[in-house]
Amino acid sequence: MSIAIIDYGAGNIQSIRFALERLGVSATLSSDPETIQSASHVIFPGVGEASSAMAKLKSTQLDKLIPELTQPVLGICLGMQLMCNSSEEGNTTGLGIFDTEVVRFTTTRNVPHMGWNEVKGSGVLFNKIPNDSHFYLVHSYYAIPNEYTVGYCLYDINFAAAMAKNNFYGTQFHPEKSGAMGAQLLQNFLSL
């Protein structure tokens, strides 16, 4: 097994590496197309602002590479959002993998939505994970539920907390910061 973490300067890299090490695997941080293409699994992390993150992907041609990957790919937080058609954050055009839009919360509750919240999920990412499990989130924008949604979270409205399409997967929450349930989800991804 070879795991590549996409390096584009917008990441929660260390916490992902530590979470993988706790599972007994190591990962290579890379922006090199050959390294990413030859990996058995790819993790597309993201913490930051959508338009500047997309600009970094474009500057290294990774915006063209990512949608063409054929191995299992997991987008986390901003990584998942950038896999959508567009984001209201910075009026950003996304990678178009998931046919949905990312919009800003309009709730009267606190934004960003930050902390632990219940996720109701199904499918391969959620094997051995009870439906009332809590995961850690921090975000001001969310993906509108769509045909690829496999996990929902409620914060005044139901939003897409996880998505899956072919070999592409995404979580709005941070599995690397979500304790035992997050570790199980990462293990499920690595088992694909």
CATH, residue 59: 3.40.50.880
Our answer to whether residue 84 is catalytic in this structure is: no
Tens of pLDDT, residues 2-40:
999 999 987 778 999 999 999 999 999 999 999 999 999
Q: Is the CA virtual torsion 125, 100, 110, 154 positive or negative?
A: negative
Our answer to whether residue 176 is catalytic in this structure is: yes
| Best CA proximity match to 75, nearest among 41, 28, 24, 122 | 41
Query: Considering 77, 84, 139, 153, which one is annotated as catalytic?
Result: 77
Tens of pLDDT, residues 90-130:
999 999 999 999 999 998 889 999 999 999 999 999 999 99
Within 10 angstroms of residue 4's Cβ, the number of other Cβ atoms is 24
Question: CA-CA distances (angstroms) from residue 151 to 13, 39, 72, 183?
Answer: 23, 26, 18, 16
Helix or strand (DSSP H, E) at 58 = helix 50-59
pLDDT at 89: 97
Our answer to whether residue 174 is catalytic in this structure is: yes
Tens of pLDDT, residues 124-152:
999 999 998 999 999 999 999 999 999 99
Structurally, the chain folds into a number of domains equal to: 1
